[in-house]
Amino acid sequence: MRARRSGHKVWVIACLIVLGSAVLTACGRHVEPEESCNFVQNGQSQRVSWQGRTPVKLFVHESVPSEYFDSIREAVKEWNRQLKYDALTIISFGNTGENLPKRDGYNVIYWIKNSWDLDRSNEQARTTVYWSGTQIYEADIRINDYNFDYFVSEEDKSYNKVHLKSLMVHELGHVLGLAHNDSHGSVMNVSLSNGDVRDKLSVEDKDSIACEYGS
């Protein structure tokens, strides 16, 4: 996926969701495929989610600057407000350890400042989701501060910067199991323009999340 230039605006890919799955199949058992509802699906066309294991416990790595903490909190609230319960919860800020996502049983938000994959420089962020069968058991978010700058308020809004809350609402949608879509106005749209604010769930987003988690 590549950036698209239109006048002075730069359209970029919001993220690339990296999916790891271990699908457990009973011998000879037929599993009916499910409607996707814009969720990631396993090899048997079943939606993957945290169903039954919420709230998803999030840890914010010490690499994330404190000036962005409120944007992360507000992004979490957007999903919880729609679901009317705490599907996501932040356990702590400032977690120590290597600034590199790994499969370790923790759902961590990382801030990557010094490097990013050369062939993925258009990514504003990347969410890695791990599941077994239909059950997600870990998801990690890395934010690309190497190629992008971010803003949090109207006062520092710029067409050279990405709105962090909008990006985090998108990434947390991936954490919950949602896939990209091409719907205009959806927080899960595949691209987010520098300077744009898209941090409120659309009707399609609300219908999608209700399909798996209720409302």
The mean per-residue pLDDT over the stretch 20-35 comes to 60
Q: What is the mean pLDDT of the chain?
A: 89
Q: pTM, whole model, 2 decimals?
A: 0.87
Q: How many domains does the chain have?
A: 1
Cis-peptide into 33, omega within 30 deg:
no
Q: What is the pLDDT of residues 89-105, one digit of tens each?
A: 999 999 999 999 999 99
Backbone phi, psi, residue 130, to 5°: -115, 140
| Domain span including residue 15 | 4-26+33-213
How many whole angstroms from its chain centre is CA 130?
A: 13
**CATH for 140:** 3.40.390.10
Residue 172, both tokens: 């947390």
Confidence of residue 215 (pLDDT cuts 50, 70, 90): confident
Name the helix (H) or strand (E) containing 13.
strand 9-13
- Residue pair 56/50 in contact (Cβ under 8 Å)? The answer is yes
Confidence of residue 68 (pLDDT cuts 50, 70, 90): very high
The partner residues of 9 in beta bridges, in order of sequence, read 6
